[in-house]
Amino acid sequence: LDNYYFCDILLFGEDYLIVQHFTGKKTGEKERILWYDIIKFEEYKEV
């Protein structure tokens, strides 16, 4: 699980997401992810 980070999506921007990690090494950190860095957006959708 070292390569996986679990997070809540805080904001959808025009060309990015802002997420906050809730487990793992990045717990509590906020991160901006640009759309071109997301290989499969479906992985971020809630069911």
Structure tokens at 8: 């809540």
- Asked if residues 43 and 17 have their Cβ atoms less than 8 Å apart, the reply is no
Question: What length is written for the chain?
Answer: 47
First to last CA, the chain: 22
pTM exceeds cut of 0.75: no
Residue 6, Cα to own-chain centre: how many angstroms? 7
Q: Which two tokens stand for residue 37?
A: 């860095």
pLDDT for position 36: 66
pLDDT of 1: 43
Residue 33: the pLDDT is 81
Q: Where are the domains of the chain?
A: 7-44
Residue pair 30/22 in contact (Cβ under 8 Å)? The answer is no
Model confidence pLDDT, tens digit, residues 5-36 = 688 888 777 788 888 888 878 888 898 888 76
